[in-house]
Chains A and B, each alone.
Chain A
């Protein structure tokens, strides 16, 4: 089955189910999504920014804000697609109940992925506002284009995380993914400093990772830095989204449709 066979109303029904749950606890959920990045911006942006001054010829607060926007999109989509999706798949039988209806497993995965990206967009928007208030946005003409990119970043990280979710024996398993994938990206993909200061082989490695491309897109949109090769970055993110979806669908079918 490919993406063109999916029935949009089924994907929407899956998305809507998650949205309705989120709506009931929206306040608490928002606080969690955006508390962490807010503290990073305050603590590092102001604290460390005071000593650093400028980075790549832009104020450190602006440099950091665009990075944190991307990393929080990554974290939000990843958390949702690992822990929350696992609860629905394994603990609550939500996916099983959907499979008894005309909804198919690929549509569940697609609905989950779009939902995780929606959560990235929600928390991304909140951080965007905070960043604006703290002076992290320099270029208002292009800044709003960052929001659809945030959604794409959400899709790109939700796909692989859903694949991990469908092979996980328990919640503990996700720690590997964080240690081996999420944390390295957080530290080595240009969120806190430009990657061209890193040794060559690390730079090459960083180019394979989606967060590098997310930052390379979002930072120029928010700041005065020039935007280079936008379609390459969009392409890499889209590739992660589609490959993640395909893999997760396949693995979910293997797990649930035995």
Chain B
């Protein structure tokens, strides 16, 4: 792949994003005063299943108004952390609070909206009836819910389809409807479990844009994901979780700066390790080998790029280091049996 075309593709996506970022659909409601200093707090939090510890003493606080990411490979404990937060999994040990209430207190769900990973929309109902029935679980009457539903359908770009059955919707529309449903009680905190898994790029960008507009309206967002692009797009702060422990936490950009060199050249076509060492010889480069690709990390990779260009049998990509590089450095590049 030629590096020029790679970069032009990236810039096209970036332009597109700016266009999306304009907040076209205002959110329905006034913001509740957010007096809380901390929305979620975990202190030495632990969870064991049948004697096996899956969350091993985790500590973090989430401040209001930010998007907080929980990243980690499959089986890292992300979903367990989320389920415990929603009171769906009892805490084994430690302290876990939501707006200063223990997470087991279901009445606190009045202030929380949940977008689960698994689609659990009601297949028997139309789109607007789905929202109306869900509103009733919060004690919101049908009359009170009606104007909200109208606003939320607009927010989800589903205004014209309110009477359609849920089964008629595409994956992206269903996910947008789930986000809209999570907003029916005007929550202060929205919890999203892998919000864009299985969506095509257009649908994903639309979801991201909606989530950013929620943040702009003062909502706190917590999301789990294993898409680094998603985390980079949305998160103000994140933790990287693996095997039930926090490996790193902080602001994405700073974390990358702290842990990974500035640039990456991914090279394919090198004969062996000796060949890889040779091409990097004399340059200050860290090499990582995965499958048929050599990842070469450096704070200034220009010299390496020049060398690569001279060897026509090589395919290479030169790019700035991303969250993915950080993630892979911390959690390891090896394939996992349990994943």
Q: Which residues on A are within 8 Å of B, measured CB to CB?
A: 9-10, 13-14, 16-17, 20-21, 24, 92-94, 96-104, 256-258
Contact = CB atoms under 8 A, between A and B. Distances in A.
Interface stretch (B5-13, B115-123, B234-242): B115-123
B123 A92 contact: yes
A257 B133 contact: no
22 contacts: A9-B139, A13-B136, A17-B133, A20-B129, A20-B133, A21-B124, A21-B125, A92-B122, A92-B123, A93-B119, A96-B116, A97-B116, A97-B120, A100-B88, A100-B116, A102-B110, A103-B137, A104-B106, A256-B88, A257-B88, A258-B49, A258-B89
A92 B120 contact: yes
Given A9-B139, A20-B129, A257-B88, A101 B116 contact: no
Contacts of A97: 116, 120-122, 134
B332 interface: no
Contacts of B107: 102
B90 interface: yes
A101 B109 contact: yes
A100 B124 contact: no
A100 B133 contact: no
Nearest to B110: A102
A38 to B, nearest CB: 27
A97 B86 CA distance: 11
Interface string B69-95: 000000000000000001111100000
Nearest to B119: A93
A100 B136 contact: no
Given A20-B125, A93-B120, A100 B138 contact: no
B106 A102 contact: yes
Interface of B: 49, 86-90, 106-107, 109-110, 112, 114, 116, 118-125, 129, 133-134, 136-139, 185
Contact of B124 (A14, A24, A96, A99): A24
A14 B122 CA distance: 13
B123 A101 contact: no
Nearest to A14: B137
A91 to B, nearest CB: 9
Contacts of B185: 101
A14 B121 CA distance: 15
Contact of A16 (B88, B106, B109, B136): B136
B137 A257 contact: no
A103 B129 CA distance: 18
Given A96-B116, A257-B89, 8 more contacts: A20-B129, A92-B123, A96-B120, A97-B134, A101-B109, A102-B109, A103-B137, A104-B106
A102 B137 contact: yes
A66 B240 CA distance: 66
A96 B89 CA distance: 12
Contact of A103 (B106, B112, B116, B122): B106
CB-CB nearest 9 A-B residue pairs: A93-B120, A101-B137, A100-B114, A13-B136, A97-B120, A21-B124, A102-B109, A104-B106, A13-B137
B90 to A, nearest CB: 7
Nearest to A256: B88
A257 B134 contact: no
Given A13-B136, A20-B129, A100 B86 contact: yes
B120 A17 contact: no
B137 A10 contact: yes
Given A21-B125, A257-B88, A94 B120 contact: yes
B162 to A, nearest CB: 16
Contacts of A9: 139
B125 A99 contact: no
Nearest to B86: A100
Nearest to B191: A100
A17 B138 CA distance: 13
Nearest to A102: B109
Nearest to B113: A100
A54 to B, nearest CB: 47
A256 to B, nearest CB: 7
A104 B109 CA distance: 10
Contacts of B87: 99, 257
Nearest to B137: A101
